[in-house]
Structure formats: C-alpha cells, structure tokens
C-alpha cells in the first residue's frame, strides 16, 4: 500500500505534538502530502442554548489552532505545504469523516495510552478512530 496522504489530528497537548512530529517525519520519508486537523468539541449545554454563536466558536477555534500549528514550527518546511483544517464537532467523528473526504491513506494520532478505568471514564479519541477509520491508523504513544 502506498501512503501518499497522511492526516494528522492535533490538539495542543504534548502527546499530540509528539505524534505530529512523528507524522511529519514519516510524511517527509514517504514524500507524502500532509493535512493537519484541529477539532474543537462543542460545549455541552446544561440546558437550552450554549450561548456561543457558531461563527464565534469557529473564530475561537481558528485562533487556538494557529497557536497549535505555530508550536510545530520546527517542521516549518513540512507545515508550509500541509493542508490545515479546523472543524467543530466530536473529534473522532470529524477525523474519520475528514479522512474519507480528503482521501487519507493513513492517520497518525497521539494517544495517552490509558487503559481500563481511565479509558472507560475519559473515552479515547484514538481508540474510536482506530475502530472506525477508513484507512490505517498509526497510534503514537507519549515519549519515553
């Protein structure tokens, strides 16, 4: 299988930054196109409206995502050619859908590596992506 398009979800965490570095280096070695996706989960309302207009939420997400992309500046040459997506929604669903729409050959995603109760209580975006992605998924654990 040829891996010519690599999708890399980022969220600003150290684990995500490490996974992005791995994904970008892999893309360099494979001469693959890359796309970065930053997903903002909509706030969960306790009742009624959330009070944040969708346009405002997207603007906030855009500012947050630029800070995350800027933090990866050590890979400037690779980031300069990477597509950048900012989406609002449930992270796993957005990543899976974008992987299909963008025709990704691989997803490189970070994982906290929690198991058991930790994963059950907190859920796992990486776990959900692995289970439902339309392409192979490389899960990168935190640095040793």
CATH of the domain at 9: 3.40.50.620
CA 74, CA 71: separation in Å to the nearest integer?
Answer: 8
Share of the chain above pLDDT 90, in %: 46
Confirm if 75 and 24 have CB atoms less than 8 A apart: yes
Please give the tally of structural domains in the chain.
1
67 part of a folded domain: yes
Question: What's the rounded mean pLDDT across residues 55-73?
Answer: 78
87 DSSP β-pair partners: 39
Decide if 56 is inside a domain. Answer: no
| Assigned domain for 45 exists | no
Per the domain annotation, does 43 fall within a domain? no
CB 95 within 8 A of CB 111: no
Asked if residue 25 is part of any domain, the answer here is yes
C-alpha 14/C-alpha 18 separation (Å) is 6
Token reading at 87: 């989406």
Rounded CA gap, 28 and 122, in Å? 33
How far is 42 from 40, CA to CA, in rounded Å?
Answer: 6
51 occurs within a structural domain? no
Total residues found in the chain within this entry: 144
103 secondary structure, DSSP code: T
Residue 65 has pLDDT above 90, yes or no: no
C-alpha to C-alpha distance for 39 and 1, rounded to whole angstroms: 28
Q: What is the mean pLDDT of the chain?
A: 83
pLDDT for the residue 122: 43
The answer to whether the CB of 9 falls within 8 A of the CB of 91 is: yes
Structural domain containing residue 121: 5-35+63-83+92-141
In a domain? residue 44: no
């Amino acid at each position: 299988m040829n891996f010519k398009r690599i999708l890399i979800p980022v969220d600003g965490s150290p684990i995500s930054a490490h996974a992005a570095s791995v994904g970008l280096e892999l893309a360099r070695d494979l001469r693959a196109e890359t796309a970065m996706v930053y997903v903002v989960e909509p706030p969960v309302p306790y009742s009624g409206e959330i009070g944040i207009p969708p346009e405002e939420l997207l603007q906030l997400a855009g500012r947050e995502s630029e800070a995350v992309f800027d933090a990866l500046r050590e890979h400037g040459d690779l980031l300069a050619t990477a597509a950048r997506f900012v989406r609002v929604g449930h992270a796993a669903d957005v990543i899976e859908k974008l992987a299909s729409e963008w025709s990704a050959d691989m997803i490189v995603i970070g994982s906290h590596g929690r198991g058991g109760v930790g994963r059950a209580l907190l859920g796992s975006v990486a776990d959900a992506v692995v289970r439902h992605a339309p392409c192979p998924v490389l899960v990168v654990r935190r640095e040793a």
